[in-house]
């Protein structure tokens, strides 16, 4: 096995480690270059001193051919002598689920697989592996993981939330870099801003070539590029599929299929409406967000300070941070155009507004409307530096927080 790249701890690692002792196959999926290979190699290396480890990648054509064409020889070489079988790039194998099921059912070995294409893994594997597989999604670095790379001491402060006076400015400086270049590991550790942009554009182009063209066999890249750019300009807006179809030149049925591919390969995700009364609130159109701001900026070829610190990019930051913790946010909008950016639908319903400047950090009429309608005891307004609690009544408090203290809500 090749040497391990420089490794920075991922929040997902502990979740995977908790499941190493159970029989089920572990699948780690996520967008290309988000760190899946590095993560599973780290886990394999930690296991190696006390266990026999088989680690292969289906980038290796000879191993792939054995798996597909001669499973018994594959088992003799890569399975029987070992305690753990790690398979990277599983999506390249045809009928992987059928073969993995055979290994799972007949041999005492823990299987860990990874791949960038969830639909391929799902189609080829899950129908055979129902009840036999746990799936974990690895995203590009969250802001917390980003801070772990940049400044471990600052990460401790971030986790505790005990900011000394003036410290928020340092966090905001890092946040601006994160908003501009995102959380792909290679981008985060790159030395210069020019290098970060080059790596991001390469990730974007590789995604279009290998994920869209090769894996999903969508040949007309120019129309797909145009669609992704259009989606990049739609952040925080209700999706109008007919309008996107007209502007991109992609038929509606195909456009929805491509959007599904973008979502299932962890490039974008959708926020769906929060409602209790279907007659008075809009309930159909979702909003769309990219899961990495750097990827979005690369597809639009825009890295200017004013662009990346815009309201929609900050809104996207909030949405993606929740998604990286496996928490889905909804939005609220009525037919009378009252709206709230996000609704966290837990045991307690929590509305969240994201403001791009301090002058806009106030309780809007729409926000008041939501608080009254749903009788929320807590609500949050996120802006640059403002931090205070405003009691509207004995039962209702609006918490003003800096963007960088978002983890207090999560």
Query: What pLDDT sits at residue 1?
Result: 45
With both helix axes pointing from N to C terminus, report the angle between 143-150 and 167-181 in degrees, rounded to the nearest 10.
110
DSSP-derived secondary structure letter, 360: G
- Neighbouring CB atoms inside 10 A of 238's CB total 16
Q: Which residues on neighbouring strands pair with residue 301, listed in sequence order?
A: none
Task: Give the DSSP per-residue string, 4-40.
Answer: PPP----HHHHHHHTTTTSSSEEEEE-STTSSHHHHH
Contact between residue 294 and residue 176 where contact means Cβ atoms under 8 Å apart? no
Calpha distance 211→217 (Å, rounded): 9
Per domain, the residue ranges of the chain are 11-137, 143-408
Residue 360's contacts (CB-CB under 8 Å, 6 or more residues apart) are 383
Long-range Cβ contacts of 200-204 (<8 Å, 24+ apart) = 200/294, 200/295, 200/297, 200/298, 201/298, 201/301, 203/32, 203/33, 203/295, 203/298, 204/295, 204/298, 204/299
From first to last of its 410 residues, the chain has per-residue pLDDT tens of: 444 567 899 999 999 999 999 999 999 999 989 999 999 999 999 999 999 999 999 999 999 999 999 999 999 999 999 999 999 999 888 889 999 999 999 999 999 999 876 555 555 566 788 889 999 999 999 999 999 999 988 898 888 877 776 788 889 999 999 999 999 999 999 999 999 999 999 999 888 877 777 666 666 678 888 999 999 999 989 999 999 999 999 999 889 988 988 988 899 999 999 987 666 555 578 999 999 999 999 999 999 887 777 889 999 999 999 999 999 999 999 888 889 999 999 889 999 999 988 788 899 999 999 999 999 999 999 998 889 999 998 889 999 999 999 999 98
- For the record, the structure tokens of 286 come out as 């979702």
Contact between residue 105 and residue 133 where contact means Cβ atoms under 8 Å apart? no
Q: Which residues on neighbouring strands pair with residue 353, listed in sequence order?
A: 381
- Neighbouring CB atoms inside 10 A of 296's CB total 29
Residue 50's contacts (CB-CB under 8 Å, 6 or more residues apart) are none
Calpha distance 396→370 (Å, rounded): 12
- In angstroms, the Cα distances linking 90 to 74, 113, 127, 186 are 14, 6, 15, 22
Measured over the CA atoms of residue 122, residue 127, residue 130 and residue 133, the dihedral's sign is: negative
Task: Give the DSSP per-residue string, 268-288.
Answer: EEEEEEP-S-TTTB--SPPEE
Q: What is the CATH number of domain 11-137?
A: 3.40.50.300
């Amino acid at each position: 096995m090749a040497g391990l790249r420089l490794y920075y701890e991922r929040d997902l690692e502990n979740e995977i480690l908790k499941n190493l002792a159970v029989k089920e196959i572990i699948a780690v999926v996520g967008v290309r270059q988000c760190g899946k290979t590095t993560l599973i190699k780290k886990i394999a290396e930690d296991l190696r001193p006390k266990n026999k480890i088989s680690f292969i990648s289906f980038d290796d054509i000879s191993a792939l051919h054995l798996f597909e064409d001669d499973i018994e020889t594959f088992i003799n070489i890569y399975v029987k002598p070992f305690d753990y079988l790690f398979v990277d790039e599983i999506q390249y194998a045809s009928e992987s689920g059928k073969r993995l099921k055979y290994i799972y059912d007949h041999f005492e070995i823990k299987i860990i697989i990874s791949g960038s294409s969830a639909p391929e893994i799902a189609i080829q594997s899950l129908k055979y592996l129902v009840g036999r597989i746990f799936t974990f999604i690895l995203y590009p670095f969250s802001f917390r993981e980003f801070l772990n790379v940049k400044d471990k001491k600052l990460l401790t402060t971030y986790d505790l939330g005990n900011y000394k006076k003036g410290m928020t400015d340092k966090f905001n400086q890092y946040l601006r870099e994160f908003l501009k270049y995102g959380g792909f590991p290679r981008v985060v550790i790159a030395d210069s801003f020019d290098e970060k942009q080059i790596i991001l554009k390469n990730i974007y182009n590789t995604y279009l070539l290998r994920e869209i063209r090769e894996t999903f066999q969508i040949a007309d890249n120019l129309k797909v590029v145009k669609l992704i750019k259009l989606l990049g300009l739609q952040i925080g807006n209700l999706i109008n599929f007919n309008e996107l179809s007209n502007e991109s030149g992609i038929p509606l049925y195909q456009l929805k299929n491509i959007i599904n591919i973008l979502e299932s390969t962890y490039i974008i995700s959708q926020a769906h409406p929060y409602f209790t009364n279907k007659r008075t609130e809009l309930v159909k159109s979702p909003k769309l967000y990219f899961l990495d701001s750097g990827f979005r900026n690369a597809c639009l070829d825009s890295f200017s300070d004013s662009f990346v610190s815009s309201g929609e990019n900050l809104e996207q930051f909030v949405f993606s941070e929740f998604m990286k913790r496996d928490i889905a946010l909804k939005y609220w909008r009525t037919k009378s155009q009252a709206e709230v950016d996000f609704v966290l639908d837990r045991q307690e319903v929590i509305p969240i507004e994201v403001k791009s400047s301090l002058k806009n950090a106030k309780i809007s009429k729409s926000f008041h409307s939501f608080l009254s309608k749903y009788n929320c005891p807590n609500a949050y307004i996120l802006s640059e530096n403002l931090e205070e609690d405003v009691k509207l009544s004995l039962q209702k408090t609006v918490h003003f927080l800096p963007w960088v203290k978002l983890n207090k809500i999560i």
